[in-house]
Structure 1
Amino acid sequence: MKKILKYTLASLIAISLANCTSDFEDINTDPNGISNESLTQMNNHIGGSFTPMFLNVFNVTPAWNFQLQQNLLGDVYSGYMTPPTPFAGNVNNMTYSLVDGWNGFPWSDAYGSVMPFALDIKNAVALGGDASGEKFVHLANIIRVTAMHRVSDIYGPIRYTKFDDFETTGEYDSQSEAYQAFFTELGTAIDELKAFEDDAQFAPFDMSSLGGDIAMWRKFANSLRLRLAMRVVKVDPALASAEGEKSLSSDAGFLEATDMYINTGFAHPLTVISGSWGDVRMGAEMESILEGFDDGRKEVYFNPAEDPALAGAYKGIRMGIEIEAKGQYGAHSSIGSVVDSETMQWMSAAEVYFLRAEAALRGWSNAGTAQEHYENGVRASFGQHGVSGVDAYLADNVSTPNDFVDALNATNDIAYPSDVTIAYNTSGTNEEQLEQIITQKWIAMFPDGQEAWSEFRRTGYPRIFPVVVNNSGGTIDTDVQIRRINFVENEVNTNGDNVAIAVGYLNGPDNGGTRLWWDIDGSNF
């Protein structure tokens, strides 16, 4: 099996290099005398390898690929959205009968269009022999970590540190090993890219809102490091604080006035999935929280229900209920103007403020004050979406999430199990303050359900309603809820020995009820 993986990857790289790097032989014969023409050609080749990486952290086209990579996984498990469509007779991911044919797409997108092209960039720079090319390796690593931490947060162990070696490319890292590699690569990139802050060679290839500005890429990498540091805070508090405090003291700074998004050139896939196909609608938790808080962002995130009986209300669907036909709930609230552009958000400035708020709550050095960052996060989110009334919103210490009432079936009604409020409560317990921080972060990160699902699993916030129908056969506890996705069927069939080792890294069987390494039950403090 290693030989199959070895030669498949070798062929991919050989084809890429043969098609794109005809000047490498000349470059290698005179590494100290690279012409401007050769350097331009080399950079163009490197730039071409960035494109599939940018377009596959989230696969934006075709829309059905995104639906399987993200929408029928993190988007629904986060409480953001629910399909009105009873796929496969309502025996599907939403009712915990995990569909292998769906759930392999996060894996195939990453290993088909992210990891190989990061390796192409690394090889091209090595063959070029120009030390300044190392900036491209560091930038590729930032994108690779952005993509692969999401993959790891779905499955757990992944193929990462040994991927670039043909002899070991099929071998897995434990999630702990993968995260340590993420921290190492981000730290190196943040440090080494400082020397290239005035370098503009990445600008023609950068599909992001950062416009090739290396100083801004350092901010993004530093913000991403803080995200991942917070992810491991329960399983390894010492590692979390060490990495988090590196970010908090770094001269790179954070995303504060700029949101990190990709200009894809394609319509956001949710405009197709929700608007054209009618396959996803507002989640019940979104209705409870946004309506209970009278949150103006609901008018950007969702459209009023089209069902005349709902009189223009914003109406959601609870995940994992009995749905007989698409027409039952299809006229509930569809996704709104938040996705009406050719961009895909990777990280908002608002999220970073909420990360800093939690860092302050945990007493990390150089974190500032939790309330200030919390309020700045809410302000950043309101500003991002052009919503007014933020001062009154932040002063509201009365409003709480609504109980959920199903418009068609009272069996699905459920009380919201918390009285969390908006105005920051500095006298609250750590858990109470954290629930406020994560609830507002959850609102602000919409529509990135994968990151929201990860934060729910880490913290238990905001409160996500359990399914009514559980078709898991007992592998997923209804109250504990789904914690991960089982390993990819194709990997099991073609790389079985290594998958068996990876299963050994889990703290339980290879199913959706087993917690990830960083997903620790119990108190957050």
Structure 2
Amino acid sequence: MQQFAGAFNMADNGAIYRKTLSFMTRSFEFSYPNDILNIVDAVERTNGVASKSNLNAMARIMKVYTFARLTDLYGDIPYSQAGKGYTAGIYRPKYDTQQAIYNDFFKELAEASAQLDPAKDRVPNEYFYKGNIPAWKKFANSLRLRLAMRLCKRDPEKAKAEIQAAYLAGVFTSNADICKTTHENVVNNYAPEFRANGISAAWNSKNEMGRVVNTFYNALNNDPRQTYLIRCYREFNPVAPTRYLEREDITAQIRAKGPLVPGLPGRTNSEDPIPVTTITLANGTSYTTRSIDMKPQLNHNLLRNDAPFLHITYSEVELLLADATQRFGLNLGGTAQEHYHRGVEAAMQHLSLYPSGPVVSAAEISTWRTANPLTAGRELEQINVQLYITLLLNGNETYANWRRSGFPALVPSPTSGSTSQTIPRRFEYPLVEKQQNTENVNAAITILGGDDWTKRVWWDL
């Protein structure tokens, strides 16, 4: 999605579209025997149990959330029979069409939201809201809004009906509603309840950090977040953001020498060298930079082990409402302009949720709002470029919203080593499915027109 590149594994396996099946199939192969199996089991074990009515509703919501990530990546997937090996003996589940899956998503979210009742069972130990039932209702409805917007081109009438129903049922109304997972500042595999942010752990496990790509950098033009989010550090001082207390930020001195030079899509840190310069380090010594020092990175506070993962934000909700208002002319509590500005303001403010994260001042936000109204004819582009920014570090949603909206207008970055000359539109099915669930996966592949990553999932027009 051209937000980051530079580190070899980023460029080789993502930015230049070189097909690596072991990476592409990992979400499918890891999810079904783990989170899918467990959430299906949780729904079934609590179904119809009066003392676990709220727990059941929460599990239904999380079942939709979990399956949505998979179907948005792969298209048609096992759904209605998934996770039933232990209870029903179904070891080769059929593949449901994405259309049927989405229809069930909307039913499940509507019913689960209505089922939640503060007078019934308390669930105080769940991670997101500590049993706050009104917060869970907002989460369910906001998820329903997100998924309804996926259908804006494929089935506009269905999209409009679900958007309006989600809004009327009550979506997020402030940053206090954000659905997030908090993490501890530790990394281990033996105590899952204390595991670090998985994205941060992946970045920090490398001895080379990714760099900000010019597509993302330029999307932040005239935006105060460009300064707060994009920084330069002495690369080997040390490399990992987990060592944030030791890393030296040299951004101010690099900026004093001229504008920052972001990376290019699909390029490694060793390519496109930047002329070096001399700066003074914090200890007073003179230091001649290297090209890698001058290539801008993401603010390391967003990549700490204890950084939260933001599942759905108030900013995303407001920007989706802005899109729906502009696209369909719906009455959703404000004009497209009002939703747009509320969404961007919320995105700027939620950066402070990260430990020692950036705090964008009210004055900076006000200045941005005044200088950046929606422009006639470019409204959907502006709204969805802001979604591209606010979904930072949520790769699944960045990818899904780009496919849904077409914005930002990314220019493909293939090389001679690329498998595809265009940006892939989906992930391919695992080999294990083709070997062990042959009949069912082949039926899905036939509908798709071939199991190729350039094919499009049902809602992607």
Q: TM-score, length-normalised on structure 1?
A: 0.70
Match of 2:302 among 338, 356, 365: 338
Counterpart check, 1:185 vs 2:105? no
Match of 1:371 among 304, 329, 337: 337
Counterpart check, 1:296 vs 2:224? yes
Question: How far does residue 112 in structure 1 lie from its aligned partner after superposition?
Answer: 2.4
Alignment CA distance shift 1:323-1:86 (3 Å): farther
| Equivalent residue letter for 1:97 | R
Kindly indicate whether the alpha-carbon contact (under 8 Å) linking 1:357 and 1:437 is maintained by their aligned counterparts in 2: yes
Question: How far does residue 289 in structure 1 lie from its aligned partner after superposition?
Answer: 1.7
| Equivalent residue letter for 2:34 | S
Question: How far apart, CA to CA, are the structure 1 residues paired with 2:416 and 2:65?
Answer: 32
* Higher relative contact order, chain-length normalized (CA < 8 Å, sep 6+): 2
Alignment CA distance shift 1:283-1:434 (3 Å): same
Kindly indicate whether the alpha-carbon contact (under 8 Å) linking 2:7 and 2:210 is maintained by their aligned counterparts in 1: yes
How many pairs does the alignment contain? 398
Kindly indicate whether the alpha-carbon contact (under 8 Å) linking 1:230 and 1:244 is maintained by their aligned counterparts in 2: yes
1:510 aligns with 451
Question: How far apart, CA to CA, are the structure 2 residues paired with 1:228 and 1:393?
Answer: 29
Name which of structure 1's ranges 436-445 and 295-304 shifts more when overlaid on structure 2. 295-304
1:106 aligns with 27
1:391 aligns with 366
1:24 aligns with none
Question: How far apart, CA to CA, are the structure 2 residues paired with 1:240 and 1:122?
Answer: 26
Question: How far does residue 322 in structure 1 lie from its aligned partner after superposition?
Answer: 6.9
Alignment CA distance shift 1:299-1:112 (3 Å): farther
Alignment CA distance shift 1:86-1:147 (3 Å): closer
Q: What are the within-5 Å matches in structure 2 for residues 299-378 of structure 1?
A: 299-304=227-232, 306=234, 311-312=254-255, 314-321=260-267, 331=293, 332-336=295-299, 337-340=301-304, 341-361=306-326, 362-378=328-344
Question: How far apart, CA to CA, are the structure 2 residues paired with 1:365 and 1:281?
Answer: 41
Question: How far does residue 130 in structure 1 lie from its aligned partner after superposition?
Answer: 3.2
Q: What are the within-5 Å matches in structure 2 for residues 26-37 of structure 1?
A: none
Question: How far apart, CA to CA, are the structure 2 residues paired with 1:147 and 1:327?
Answer: 42
Question: How far does residue 173 in structure 1 lie from its aligned partner after superposition?
Answer: 0.9
Question: How far apart, CA to CA, are the structure 2 residues paired with 1:510 and 1:423?
Answer: 43
Question: How far apart, CA to CA, are the structure 1 residues paired with 2:271 and 2:262?
Answer: 16
Question: How far apart, CA to CA, are the structure 1 residues paired with 2:56 and 2:292?
Answer: 46
Question: How far apart, CA to CA, are the structure 2 residues paired with 1:96 and 1:393?
Answer: 35
Kindly indicate whether the alpha-carbon contact (under 8 Å) linking 2:53 and 2:121 is maintained by their aligned counterparts in 1: no
Q: What are the within-5 Å matches in structure 2 for residues 61-140 of structure 1?
A: 78-85=1-8, 92-126=13-47, 130-140=49-59
Question: How far apart, CA to CA, are the structure 1 residues paired with 2:31 and 2:272?
Answer: 32
Name which of structure 1's ranges 452-461 and 93-102 shifts more when overlaid on structure 2. 93-102
What are the Cα deviations for residues 360-402 of structure 1, in whole angstroms up to 9, with x where unaligned? 1121244531111111111111221221201111122xxxxxx
SS at match of 1:261: strand
SS at match of 2:180: strand
Question: How far does residue 279 in structure 1 lie from its aligned partner after superposition?
Answer: 4.3
Question: How far apart, CA to CA, are the structure 2 residues paired with 1:85 and 1:327?
Answer: 15
SS at match of 1:467: coil
Question: How far does residue 503 in structure 1 lie from its aligned partner after superposition?
Answer: 0.8
What are the Cα deviations for residues 284-319 of structure 1, in whole angstroms up to 9, with x where unaligned? 2112222x22x2223443322547899256543223
Runs of 5+ unmatched residues, structure 1: 1-77, 397-421, 521-525
SS at match of 2:231: coil
| Equivalent residue letter for 2:127 | M
Kindly indicate whether the alpha-carbon contact (under 8 Å) linking 1:190 and 1:221 is maintained by their aligned counterparts in 2: yes
Kindly indicate whether the alpha-carbon contact (under 8 Å) linking 2:6 and 2:267 is maintained by their aligned counterparts in 1: no
Question: How far does residue 170 in structure 1 lie from its aligned partner after superposition?
Answer: 1.8
1:37 aligns with none
Question: How far apart, CA to CA, are the structure 1 residues paired with 2:324 and 2:394?
Answer: 22
2:282 aligns with none
Name which of structure 1's ranges 144-153 and 257-266 shifts more when overlaid on structure 2. 257-266
Kindly indicate whether the alpha-carbon contact (under 8 Å) linking 2:12 and 2:266 is maintained by their aligned counterparts in 1: no
SS at match of 2:95: coil
Alignment CA distance shift 1:94-1:442 (3 Å): closer
Question: How far apart, CA to CA, are the structure 2 residues paired with 1:122 and 1:253?
Answer: 23
2:438 aligns with 496
Question: How far apart, CA to CA, are the structure 1 residues paired with 2:370 and 2:101?
Answer: 42
What are the Cα deviations for residues 268-287 of structure 1, in whole angstroms up to 9, with x where unaligned? 33434434522422122112
Question: How far apart, CA to CA, are the structure 2 residues paired with 1:200 and 1:302?
Answer: 45
Question: How far apart, CA to CA, are the structure 2 residues paired with 1:470 and 1:171?
Answer: 38
Kindly indicate whether the alpha-carbon contact (under 8 Å) linking 1:256 and 1:349 is maintained by their aligned counterparts in 2: yes
Match of 2:415 among 434, 444, 469: 469
Kindly indicate whether the alpha-carbon contact (under 8 Å) linking 1:84 and 1:317 is maintained by their aligned counterparts in 2: no
SS at match of 1:345: strand
Question: How far apart, CA to CA, are the structure 2 residues paired with 1:167 and 1:130?
Answer: 24
SS at match of 1:486: coil
Kindly indicate whether the alpha-carbon contact (under 8 Å) linking 2:179 and 2:311 is maintained by their aligned counterparts in 1: yes
Kindly indicate whether the alpha-carbon contact (under 8 Å) linking 1:350 and 1:381 is maintained by their aligned counterparts in 2: yes
| Equivalent residue letter for 1:154 | L
SS at match of 2:388: helix
| Equivalent residue letter for 1:509 | G
Question: How far apart, CA to CA, are the structure 2 residues paired with 1:106 and 1:197?
Answer: 35
| Equivalent residue letter for 1:106 | S
1:445 aligns with 391
Question: How far apart, CA to CA, are the structure 2 residues paired with 1:490 and 1:335?
Answer: 37
Question: How far apart, CA to CA, are the structure 1 residues paired with 2:268 and 2:260?
Answer: 21
- Root-mean-square deviation (CA, aligned residues, Å) is 2.7
Match of 2:98 among 172, 175, 194: 175
Counterpart check, 1:274 vs 2:203? yes
Question: How far apart, CA to CA, are the structure 2 residues paired with 1:96 and 1:214?
Answer: 43
Q: TM-score, length-normalised on structure 2?
A: 0.79
Match of 2:406 among 451, 460, 473: 460
Question: How far apart, CA to CA, are the structure 1 residues paired with 2:211 and 2:317?
Answer: 27
| Equivalent residue letter for 1:390 | I
Question: How far apart, CA to CA, are the structure 1 residues paired with 2:43 and 2:460?
Answer: 33
Question: How far apart, CA to CA, are the structure 2 residues paired with 1:450 and 1:444?
Answer: 13
What are the Cα deviations for residues 162-189 of structure 1, in whole angstroms up to 9, with x where unaligned? 2234337521111111111111111111
